[in-house]
Amino acid sequence: MHDALQRLFNVRRDEVVPVLLAMLFFFCVLTALMVLRPARDALGMQRGIEAVRWLFMGTALVTLLANPVFGWLVSRFRRMAFIGATYAFFALSLLAFHLLLVLAPAAVGEVSGQVFYVWFSVFNLFATMLFWALMADRFSLAQSKRFFALIAVGGTLGAVFGPWLASVLAEPLGTPSLLLVSIGFLALATLAAWGVARGRTGGTATEAPPEPAIIGGSAWAGLKAVFRSRYLLGIAGYVIVMTIMATLLYFTRLQMVAALGDDLDLRTAAFARIDLYTQLATLFLQAVVAGHLMRRLGVHVVLVLLPLTAALGFVGLAIVGSIAALIVFEAAFRAVQRALTRPARETLYVVVSREDKYKSKAFIDTFGYRGGDVIGAQVEGLLGRLGMGLAALASAAVPLALAWAVLGLWLGRAQRRLAATDEPRSAALHSDTDIHPDHTRSPS
């Protein structure tokens, strides 16, 4: 039985505990986020779709301002100190929103709703970024290829459990109480993070590793490193294009579902089918397929799958133009993105220095996502104002997807060159595609 499970999930006996702790960590993070998402979406849509586009811009600005603050924490404190401080800040912010809703409900309006929308979007990015940064810091490249996708199952289960919990608790406890529930799961996530950081991750080690030294450096080091490194800049480009594609698909869904009519039940059924098919496909790919694909075919092949899915999906959507085609496309896109692309993309950080894992990754995973949101929202809005349909959207999306696929191939091969060196090092020191072993610096 053990051998069968090892072949199925790519996890050895001494790796079971750290993998389960990592899954618990991600489950708690996603539950804390998803239990609040319905409230975020309801508040953000108070002024219509056009207002959401501007909220994307506000979120991008806030994440840019927040990055040097996070960089300062990383530079001055040990790993678990800045991880705990970040989650504690968001927990205290949730407590403040809770007190506002309970003690001054009359003050809650469109402005405060938009503030919460932007705050939640920043919270979403930093919470998941910190999780994956710790994963890249604690597991080796070989381990990341084998079970990052399996670890992501914990997040998928949290993404399912959070909305269900919100639907069960919202009526008897009230919406403000959901914020307290989110705080509780953030506390559990911090405890699980401590277990991952302090425990063994398998292999021959018999003792827990010591807490690594303070990283040091400047608060802006992550931003500077991205623009000095082709490798990190390539990761940023991959994230931005991916987010543009996801945003184009998101607004296309809003427009096509809105065109079905004003029947709330009809719209709800369409969204429910998308979510159901997505979750089922994601769970299967994460648990069984993704780890084997990365180990046998390589990260570079996995990174190409989502761009190809996007290209084929937009072409099919332009040809068929039906809600059924949209459901199939979005379910396939989101399943490949969550189950295959996200774990593969996170392995790219395993081969860089600890400073880049936290500082550069924070910039890429926060501002890169929000920057892509802004670009995608504005492009979709421009095409809509010009009266262009799905064919015009596909003519813009397909060439971009092909360039995105080429970038994914390059990143996977660059990762292998970096992994061939003796130890993780700063990718920012490599200004070209040749990796020289003497271009190193201390990982601390």
pLDDT 10s digit of each residue in the chain, 444 long? 556 556 666 677 778 888 999 999 999 999 999 888 766 655 555 555 566 667 777 777 888 888 888 889 999 888 899 999 999 999 999 999 888 878 876 666 666 667 887 888 889 889 999 999 999 998 888 888 888 888 988 998 898 888 888 878 877 877 788 889 999 999 999 999 999 988 776 654 445 566 677 887 777 888 889 999 999 999 999 999 999 999 888 878 777 766 665 554 455 455 556 666 667 777 777 666 666 677 777 888 889 999 999 999 999 988 987 777 887 888 788 888 888 898 899 999 999 988 899 999 988 988 788 788 888 878 877 776 666 678 888 888 999 999 999 999 999 999 988 888 744 444 443 333 333 333 333 332
DSSP bridge partners of 352: 425
Asked if 286 and 362 count as a contact pair (C-beta separation under 8 A), the reply is no
Sequence letter at residue 279: Q
Q: Which among 358, 351, 423, 349 is positioned nearest to 215, based on CA atoms?
A: 358
Q: What are the structural domains of the chain?
A: 2-202+218-429 (1.20.1250.20)
* Cα three-residue angle 426-222-145, rounded to 5 degrees: 55
According to DSSP, the residues that pair with 425 across neighbouring strands are 352
pTM above 0.85, yes or no: no
**Phi and psi angles of residue 95, each rounded to the nearest 5 degrees, phi first:** -65, -40
CA distance 87 to 169: 23
Whether the CB-CB separation of 421 and 437 falls below 8 Å is answered with yes
Closest residue by Cα to residue 120 from 23, 37, 10: 37
Separation of alpha carbons 91 and 18, rounded Å: 25
CB within 8 Å of 178: residues ≥ 6 apart: 35, 36, 39, 166, 169, 170
Chain centroid to CA 88: how far?
20
Q: Extract the tokens encoding 45.
A: 């849509």
DSSP character at residue 424: -
Query: What phi and psi, each to the nearest 5 degrees, are found at residue 132?
Result: -70, -30
Residues 6 or more apart from 72 whose CB is under 8 A from it?
Answer: 219
> Is the CA virtual torsion 201, 364, 435, 438 positive or negative?
negative
Tokens in use for 204? 């021959």
C-alpha of 247 from chain center: 14
Q: CA–CA separation, 35 vs 56, rounded Å?
A: 21
On whether the CB atoms of residues 367 and 121 are closer than 8 A, the answer is: no
Cα(121)–Cα(233) distance, integer angstroms: 23
* In the block, residue with structure tokens 């060196």: 421
